[in-house]
Each structure stands twice: as C-alpha cells, then as structure tokens.
Structure 1
Amino acid sequence: MNSTSLLRQKAIDEIREADQRFSVMSEKQGMAKAFTAYAADDVIRMNDGAAPTVGFDSLRVQMSRLPAKGPVLTWQVLKADAAHSGELGYTFGQWTLTRKDGKGALNAQYGVYVTVWKRQRNGQWRFVLDGGNTTPEPK
C-alpha cells in the first residue's frame, strides 16, 4: 500500500470507530448528548418530513426538546469510506429507534442512514451532514 492508501484506510477505520462510539453514547447517554457531542459547528441534520436543522446552535436547541427518558436510537455501520486526503468520509448503516408505548411495551422503528464525517482542526472526527429514512424491519 502506498502512503495515500494508508492515509485513506486510517481515515476509514477512524470514521467507523467514531460512528460506533456515537451510537454507544446515544444508547447509554441519550440522543441529545450524543448528537451534540459528535456534531461539527457547521452541521446539517436532515429531518424526516421537515426542514433540515442547520448549524450547531440549532441542533442543540432541537436536541434539548427531546425528553430525558425518550426513545433510544442505536445504529450499526454497514459501510464506511473516505477521501484519499483522509479529511472527509462517510458512514452508511441501519438504525433502530426503540420507545415505550403508553402501556410500557417496547416498539421499534427501523431505517437506514448516511453520515458525512469531516476531520476537524484538532484531528477529531465530527459529522457535518446526517440523515436517514425509515425502512421495514431488517431481515
């Protein structure tokens, strides 16, 4: 492998790892904490059936509206890739949103997502674009 290929592969591995840590934080500490921890300042979040959320401050306000014991969002990376420069990449995968209904029974919703990641000046990966849609339950 040449140095460009190594740089790209290192970025792919780092992006996959960041995405997995993001999901674990969402599961254990809630969506609001996770989304604000991993978002870049210039983030854009696509919202199903609504206008996108643009910018970190808008995302923080959106996330602050979520109930503390609200639904639990987790996901699994199916594919990750990065530019040869090692500065930009994406993840694609499946998500599950689990919530309790009025009787305390768990209901799950499923979907797919794509997240675009950008290396920040401090070397950390933050997402700059995130969106997805619902799908039938995966087989």
Structure 2
Amino acid sequence: MKTILPSKTLAVATLALCAALSPGARAGTPEEDLAAARPVIDAANADWIPALEAQDARRAVAPFADDAMFILGDGKTIAGRAAIEAFIAERFAPGSKVTGGTIQQDGIQSIRDGLIYEWGHGGTTRVDAKGETHSSSGPYLTVWRRNPSGQWQIVRNLTF
C-alpha cells in the first residue's frame, strides 16, 4: 500500500531533510559572510604569535576545525586539529622559544557557500637551546568555513 502525505506534511519533511543534509550553516551574501568572519579572523591572526610565544599549542590551534588540514611548504600535510596541535607542540623543543613574529594579511575574499580565502605573509623568530636566533618567513593561504553552528573555522592552512 502506498502512503500519500498531505502537501503541507511533505513540504515540512522535505525542508527537514534538506536542513539535515546541509554541510553547514546557511551562508549569507559574500559581504555578510566577510563582515561576520572578519572579527574572528583578525582575532586568530592577532593571537597566533602570542600563543606560540607562550608555547600554548592548544590556544594556537583553537581556530582550526576538527577536520582541518595544515599543509607545509614541502607538501607535508597534517590532518585534523588534534594532529595539528601535536605538530605545533613538538616544535616547542626544550630550551627553544618563539620570541616574536608577524602575520600580515595581504587579502581576503568571500568565495561562496560560507568559504573565505585569506592570504598574506608572516614569519617567526625563534631562539634555540644554544641561544642562536633563527627566522622563518613566507606566504600563507588560509581557507575559513562556517561550521553548522555558525562559527568560522580554519579548514585549510597552507604555508609556502
């Protein structure tokens, strides 16, 4: 026997199914997305170097999504926020300390469907256990995505 739902019930069921299958929170216009994301992105960029200086890997990776990927200039890829946190923590070798650095955003663009591309350049200064100073710098590309609860998170971070 075939069940036929009244059109109102069918419409409600269809809306519920669409909402359940949606990959994230509803995206706004590109301008709305950029306005909503900019304070989060600016705060994450402002806290990156202080988190490294404090040797606080958890704080450094707080903006990353659980399924984020961190891609290094040599192509090595670290997948997942927990693995990225472990990678950052490993860089805090005993006697070594980040003593400064910068992040300079060169551009930001809302693409579509709740995705924002951010690019720029940055670097860090580190003093190793022997007291020698080392610097590293280069360009970056970061992809931000709005998650299902509406938070903006890093899903891809590429360093060159």
TM-score calculated relative to the size of structure 2:
0.64
Quick check: which has more Rg, 1 or 2? 2
Structure 1 regions of 5+ residues with no counterpart?
A: 134-139
Which aligned pairs between 1:64-79 and structure 2 lie closer than 5 A?
64-67=89-92, 69-71=96-98, 72-79=100-107
Q: Percent of aligned pairs with the same residue?
A: 23
Letter in 1 for 2:122: W
Asked whether the equivalents of residues 106 and 121 of structure 2 are also in contact (C-alpha less than 8 Å), the reply is: yes
What is the alpha-carbon root mean square deviation over aligned residues? 2.8
- In structure 1, the residue matched to 2:46 is 21
Is 1:95 equivalent to 2:122 in the alignment?
A: yes
Distance 2:85 2:155 in 1: 14
Deviation track 1:20-70 (CA, whole Å, cap 9, x = no partner) reads 334354355346234321110111110232520112232232223121653
1:31–1:76 distance in 2 versus 1, CA, 3 Å: farther
1:114–1:7 distance in 2 versus 1, CA, 3 Å: same
Is 1:125 equivalent to 2:152 in the alignment?
A: yes
Asked whether the equivalents of residues 49 and 101 of structure 2 are also in contact (C-alpha less than 8 Å), the reply is: no
Which aligned pairs between 1:1-139 and structure 2 lie closer than 5 A?
4=29, 6-11=31-36, 13-14=38-39, 16-30=41-55, 32-49=57-74, 51-67=76-92, 69-71=96-98, 72-85=100-113, 87-101=114-128, 104-133=131-160
Distance 2:118 2:101 in 1: 16
Letter in 1 for 2:80: G
Deviating beyond 6 angstroms after TM superposition, the runs of 4 or more aligned structure 1 residues are none
* Deviation larger for 115-124 or 39-48: 115-124
Deviation track 1:82-119 (CA, whole Å, cap 9, x = no partner) reads 1354x110110111120125653533222110000111
Distance 1:117 1:17 in 2: 12
Offset, 1:126: 1.1
Bigger fraction of residues in strand: 1
1:62–1:107 distance in 2 versus 1, CA, 3 Å: closer
